[in-house]
Amino acid sequence: MKLVQTVAQYLALKQSLGFRFQTERIILKAFYRAMGKIRMGQVKPVAVRAFLDGHGPVTRHWSRQWETLRGFYGFALTRGLARRSPLPAEAPKVTVIFTPYIYSLPELQRLLQAITPERTRSLSPLTMRVLLLLLYGAGLRLSEALKLEDADVDVKDALLHVRCSKFFKSRLVPVGPKLAGVLTGYARQRPAFPIAVFSGPTTALR
């Protein structure tokens, strides 16, 4: 069987089981495109290693790709779609450590001052300002902030309910009184929409 067909079967299985598998889908598609139009048995370890190594130092992405391919080849081996795995036996240790950058209050103020209708495009300056303060004040991922719905925002108790985020986990995120006030003010200033923060990147973000 061809590599691309096996990938399609694997993705269909994961989808049927309810997995989002978005990042893994991107990795697997990049993998079979890099390998070319070949059969499963024609995938060479040297080609796989070149795909994993890419360019530059080893990062967490190397391990993520390796873990994704390991799951894929586990699927193929148990179903007789591959005779062997061309993957390295182990992932190398990641030597590059990510150092988060924390913006100072003056830097945040300059970011807020830079918000103009010309720069926000489809978003209103008000929405962009609240989104920036939400990311800064609550430490949410961008995707988490954009998916917030009416029921997820409790300004009375100063809590955000982040649902089914990374690894399908949900959590409650407390916010400070200043950010809670910003969210309350935002709801009041957009009466044409439901009283909430964000219900989607294309409908409520205006």
Predicted confidence (pLDDT) per residue in 93-149, tens digit: 766 566 788 889 999 999 999 998 888 777 788 889 999 999 999 988 888 888 888
24 within 8 A of 14, measured Cβ to Cβ:
yes
Task: Return phi, psi of residue 87, to 5°.
Answer: -80, 150
Retrieve residue 9's tokens. Answer: 């079967």
19 within 8 A of 2, measured Cβ to Cβ:
no
195 within 8 A of 139, measured Cβ to Cβ:
no
Q: Which residues of the chain have pLDDT under 70?
A: 94-98, 166-168, 190-206
31, 23, 43, 36: which is closest to 7 by C-alpha? 31
SS3 assignment, position 159: strand
- Between CA 36 and CA 54 the distance in angstroms is 16
User: Please, which residues have CB within 8 angstroms of residue 93's CB and are 6 or more apart in sequence?
Assistant: 58
Could you please state the CATH topology (level 3) that the domain comprising 105-188 is classified under: hpI Integrase; Chain A (1.10.443)
Q: CA distances (Å), 166 to each of 14, 22, 65, 108, 144, in order?
A: 17, 11, 17, 26, 9
140 within 8 A of 173, measured Cβ to Cβ:
yes
Retrieve residue 154's tokens. Answer: 């409790």
> For residue 19, what pLDDT is reported?
83
Q: Taking the domains of the chain in order of start, what are their residue ranges?
A: 3-78, 105-188
Retrieve residue 136's tokens. Answer: 């800064």
> For residue 41, what pLDDT is reported?
93
